[in-house]
Structure 1
């Protein structure tokens, strides 16, 4: 009887310590961004005497992000994670239509400090405890207002400027796989989508989203 009790205790301790409740990870992700909008000026003119200007914009771009995160597992399948991501834009293009006249602007982001920062807060679920398992995430990122560098005076000198709110909350959904490389190391590959829900009352419409492939190397302890 004592032997059975001892074996039960040892087995229980193995299960508890084998869950690896805490984990740290490093993340790398390519990102595709897209936005479309329409605005009509003036916003309000009861006399209808001012000329109407219709402005449409469609933009897209490629960027990449790197970051770190911490995760806590409530169970072998459920966990919560938080971290910080730094995003740097690579290239972009905007197509404009001003009262029916089209023009295009292309961007190259070469300034070393033009990074955007996100703080993710995510609930994660893996449907299996096997070595390879589907992996799902849902939550939001807290997007901090970034600094843009603009040649305002036309002399080549880049001046830092900021636009928009200080922090914007953006929902995130992801579905991918997690693979256990070793007892402590796991690799996560997860396509994600984010859609902007921030209100833009002055626009006739405003749509923006991001698609990315989140790749994480996670160490469990």
Structure 2
């Protein structure tokens, strides 16, 4: 557990660093040839699920002063959304690479205990578009690099407790998406992709976590 002051300062530091990286990408658009660079805004609602099995050492209730190992299981579901900005560069006729800065917000509720969490992430994707027709399939594969997650848990009779993930928490989430792109104006396109994301678990922790989402982007081609 960390204090709100230290948590806030670290989160701000991570945010400003990511904002600078994204800004450098966007500001360099003039270096690319016309038509190869695009920017987009992302909105992506998602459903998440995680299941964790861990060994926990607790005092033995039947023998004073001794410890016993128990198997602790946790299974949680969450709902939330991603919002963010992206830059895309087309390096071949049908291929492009994109990155940016995303922010997520999620809510969970279980057995009278509710929680909410948020974090920032840098997405890095390679995209494949088979044709330049007005309506075309659109595929993406890559990963999300996540900063530390901040969670606030509301516990009955106790109140709100703030947690922040440490350095051993998963940072990389491989992600794939398959959908369509629709060019409804000369320089404007709409992308819609169902996505699947899996969080690589930290070492020595038996956990499985994934997200199912719908990535919707409004893209402006420069």
Q: Once the two structures are superposed, what CA deviation does each residue of 1:73-122 show, in whole Å capped at 9, x if it has no partner? A: 11231100000111111x3134xxxxxxxxx354253xxxx531110010
1:151, 1:213 → 2: CA distance? Answer: 28
Structure 2 match to 1:181: 184
> C-alpha separation between the residues in 2 aligned to 1:136 and 1:54?
41
Report 1:1-221 matches (<5 A). Answer: 20-42=35-57, 50-89=67-106, 91-94=107-110, 104-109=111-116, 114-150=117-153, 156=159, 158=160, 160-165=162-167, 168-201=171-204, 203=205, 205-221=206-222
Q: Where in structure 1 do 4 or more consecutive aligned residues deviate above 4 Å?
A: none
The structure that is helix-richer by fraction is 2
TM-score (norm 1): 0.74
| Equivalent-residue separation in structure 1 for 2:203 and 2:109 (angstroms) | 22
Computing the radius of gyration from Cα coordinates, the structure with the larger value is 1
Looking at structure 1, the residues matched to 108 and 137 of structure 2 have their Cα atoms a distance apart, in angstroms, of 33
- Superposed CA RMSD: 2.4
Structure 2 segments unaligned to the other structure (5+ residues):
1-32, 59-65
Render the CA deviation track for 1:10-59: whole Å, top value 9, x for unaligned. Answer: xxxxxx85xx101000010111000011112339xxxxx74232211110
TM-score (ref. length: structure 2): 0.74
| Aligned residues between the structures | 182
d(CA) in 2 for partners of 1:40, 1:116: 27
5+ residue gaps, structure 1, are 1-15, 44-48, 95-103
When residues 138 and 164 of structure 1 are mapped into structure 2, their CA distance, relative to the original with a 3 A threshold, is same
